[in-house]
Amino acid sequence: MGRIILRLDRVMADRKMSLNELSEKVGVANVNLSKLKNGHISAIRFSTLIAICEALHCQPGDILEYAPDDN
């Protein structure tokens, strides 16, 4: 089974936005955004994804990437 790679850190760096700034704009706690940024989550609400995309002016595909298994 493939996996989803989170690229939130890369998009935030491209936009020169800190975790604190994104947290304020999105209305999600720093600790939860940190877990998302570091890939320590198993799900994300669409409402959170929408808020992140609006704050970063990006598409979901800029943040999420599918990687198939090597097998």
d(CA 34, CA 39): 8
CATH class assigned to 3-58: mainly alpha
Two structure tokens written together for 12: 């935030």
Domain limits of the chain?
3-58
**Spatial contact of 19 and 12, defined as CB atoms under 8 Å apart:** yes
Please compute Rg for the chain using Cα positions.
12
In tens, the pLDDT along 10-68 reads 999 999 999 999 999 999 999 999 999 998 998 999 999 999 999 999 999 999 999 99
CA dihedral of 61, 58, 25, 19, whole degrees rounded to 10: 60
- Helices 19-26, 46-56: inter-axial angle, 10-degree rounding: 120
